[in-house]
Structure 1
Amino acid sequence: MKHILMLATGGTIASRETGQGLAPAITSREILGYVPAIGELCRVETIQLMNLDSSNLGPSHWLRMARAIEEHYDRYDGFVVTHGTDTMAYTAAALSYLIQFSPKPIVLTGSQKSICLENTDARMNLYNAFLYAAAEGSRGVSLVFDGKVILGTRARKERTKSFNAFSSVDYPEIGVIRDGRLIRYLPALDAKESPDFYHTLEDRVLLLTLIPGMGTEALAALEDSYQAVILQSFGVGGLPGGGSGPFAQAVERWLQAGKTIVMLTQVPYEGSDMAVYQVGYQVKEKYRLLEGYNMTLEAAVTKLMWVLGRTRDPEQVEALFYRPVQWDIIR
């Protein structure tokens, strides 16, 4: 029987009503007590790593999760991380970069309603996460939710209340769980005998979403505070004014200051292609900036943090950013 470690971090699955809204308060052992059938799938131990609303989680917590998995990696056959849904896609992507080529599964799950409620998705999601973690051939970082198994770099929360909250963006679900049975759609991820663990992230990454008529004042004001900016532009990608407008001039200042710029689309599906229109083509030809193509926002943000945590050299940044990790980018 597989031996699985559960790392509890808080979130809705662990929440109780406080009179001022829900807040995490249920312990990891209490969570497991609601789903005794998990004991038929595997042996389980648990660590209460933290108990936070996922809105309060960030890079320091992702590093803490990765360190905990690294410290216990040799003692267990897999890991389940219970987590709030609001930033779970960011955490899944971050762990995909911090723990690469894992031959063991690292599975994130949570719920839209607390596990202590009668009408909740928490118990089934938790059971399915352990089912997948205990299954032969499961490996790498994934998110299990509403019966879907989604790569950690491809998950996105698209619904705030419905049980089918997460989708796999521009990449198929790697499997589904129906009536207690795992059906794999895609072969297992590449793995090595021992995973590659990383221990640094650069958290000074800014996301700026463009809107029609927007000026460049924010870019100028924030230049000294951030090491990189992701510009979330329109459609397949471009900047107002093309290669000679004020946005292009602001981009040039950032690049001259040694900063990194990534262009990403605001459109959820099908990605960017800056070569299609003049407003994108001119910018891409003139400046050495990166393009996210069909990466999710969550993957682009966390990959940039991982890359800049390793190097600031522009050539190395470009090479690492474009190197696929868990099918995060397809060019």
Structure 2
Amino acid sequence: MTTKKLLLLSTGGTIASVVSDSGLVPGESGESLLKMLGRIPYKIVVKDILELDSSNIQPEEWKLIAREIYKYRNDYDGIVVSHGTDTMAYTASMLTFMLQNINLPVVLTGSQVPMNVILSDAPGNLRVAFAAAAKCAPGIYLAFDRQVILGCRSVKVRTTSFNAFESVNVPPVARVTSDGFEIQKAEKVSNGQCKLNTDIDANVSLVKLFPGFDPRLLHAMAQSGCHGIVIEAYGLGGMTYIRRNLVAAVGKLIRRGIPVIASSQCLYERSDLTKYEVGQQALLQGAISAHDMTSESAITKLMWALGQGMDVAAVAKFFNTNVAGEVTLN
């Protein structure tokens, strides 16, 4: 059997952090991570592309990471990206849209404890990521705590525990059990050609609705240059229309050409604007349902859509399109 050739792109994060006078900071190279990991049954090439805490990973870094993956996509059997945990789900979601129809598995991973700490979760996470890069179908994934998650369905749900990430609204793609690496759900492999498209519009906002929210704040965002908004609404997507009429504000924004996406504050299950009056009112004003997408996936999908020059109608159509498993459509 031919040994799989994998690429490790190192970007920093906790997994590569060392102690400093100002706290933990990224300091280990990808080669150092690989050396501390020990022997694994793959041929691995390492390339350090960033050395950042993931709180500092922003759209500029997304584009860089996507370009590097695209550049090497035909030279390896799989690619692993070591990354900080705080924004890893956002990066995984954005790569899903920037690298549609990717032709190899790309697996992001990190850790809650630095690699150089004796009881770190980093070695296990990195080993699972390499296994996923060697065995999974082409796509963007996140490997953490012995499971592999579709990248656009991943959410960080815990700050310190080793089981920091969960797969939301779909089962994990693979798990590590006593029987080894088990693929639970075979992903559909696209026959399309991968094209790099890093054109995005980051002038967007993610707003969590709460009792007393003043709709004028949405207009202030628009006046400050916001081109699209994702609202984490109540339950199935309900929005206030008594006294503080958020629904009317949404309508005004949409008529100005600013798409408004309605998602749910609930982590699991879907938004459905058709069920209650408070949702139907928003739907009538043109609010676009996020269905069962994560907030991370919804905001990055909106950025990418606006970057393509889509108007409100095109964004609505795009949000009713399943690009790579990010949404369940009835």
C-alpha distance in 2 between matches for 1:248 and 1:156: 28
Alignment TM-score, normalising by the size of structure 2: 0.95
Q: Which residue of 2 aligns with 1:5?
A: 7
Letter in structure 2 aligned against 1:307: A
Give the deviation of 1:28 after TM superposition.
1.0
Letter in structure 1 aligned against 2:165: F
Please list the CA deviations of residues 305-327 of structure 1 after superposition, one character each: whole Å capped at 9, or x if unmatched.
Answer: 11111123222222222210222
Asked whether the equivalents of residues 205 and 229 of structure 2 are also in contact (C-alpha less than 8 Å), the reply is: yes
RMSD of aligned residue pairs (Cα, Å): 1.6
Structure 1 residues 295, 190: CA separation in 2 closer, same or farther (over 3 Å shift)?
same
Aligned-pair identity in percent equals 35
C-alpha distance in 2 between matches for 1:248 and 1:193: 39
Q: Which residue of 2 aligns with 1:26?
A: 28
Match of 1:295 among 293, 296, 305: 293
Give the deviation of 1:214 after TM superposition.
1.6
Letter in structure 2 aligned against 1:51: E
C-alpha distance in 1 between matches for 2:178 and 2:121: 14
Give the deviation of 1:273 after TM superposition.
1.2
Letter in structure 1 aligned against 2:49: L
C-alpha distance in 1 between matches for 2:323 and 2:178: 31
Give the deviation of 1:181 after TM superposition.
2.0
C-alpha distance in 1 between matches for 2:287 and 2:25: 41
Q: Which residue of 2 aligns with 1:106?
A: 106
Please list the CA deviations of residues 169-194 of structure 1 after superposition, one character each: whole Å capped at 9, or x if unmatched.
Answer: 01011111235821011113322364
Provide structure 2 residue ranges, at least 5 long, that are not aligned to the other structure. none
- Does 2:19 align with 1:17? yes
Q: Give matches, 1:157-168, under 5 Å.
A: 157-168=156-167
Letter in structure 2 aligned against 1:93: S
Q: Secondary structure at the match of 2:107?
A: strand
Structure 1 residues 180, 72: CA separation in 2 closer, same or farther (over 3 Å shift)?
farther
Asked whether the equivalents of residues 78 and 105 of structure 1 are also in contact (C-alpha less than 8 Å), the reply is: yes
Q: Secondary structure at the match of 2:236?
A: coil
Structure 1 residues 315, 127: CA separation in 2 closer, same or farther (over 3 Å shift)?
same
Alignment TM-score, normalising by the size of structure 1: 0.94
Runs of 4+ off more than 6 Å = none
Letter in structure 1 aligned against 2:81: V
- Does 2:99 align with 1:76? no
Asked whether the equivalents of residues 102 and 194 of structure 2 are also in contact (C-alpha less than 8 Å), the reply is: yes
Please list the CA deviations of residues 258-309 of structure 1 after superposition, one character each: whole Å capped at 9, or x if unmatched.
Answer: 1111011111111211222111112212x22211111001110111111111
C-alpha distance in 1 between matches for 2:121 and 2:232: 33
Provide structure 1 residue ranges, at least 5 long, that are not aligned to the other structure. none
Structure 1 residues 113, 235: CA separation in 2 closer, same or farther (over 3 Å shift)?
same
Give the deviation of 1:115 after TM superposition.
0.0
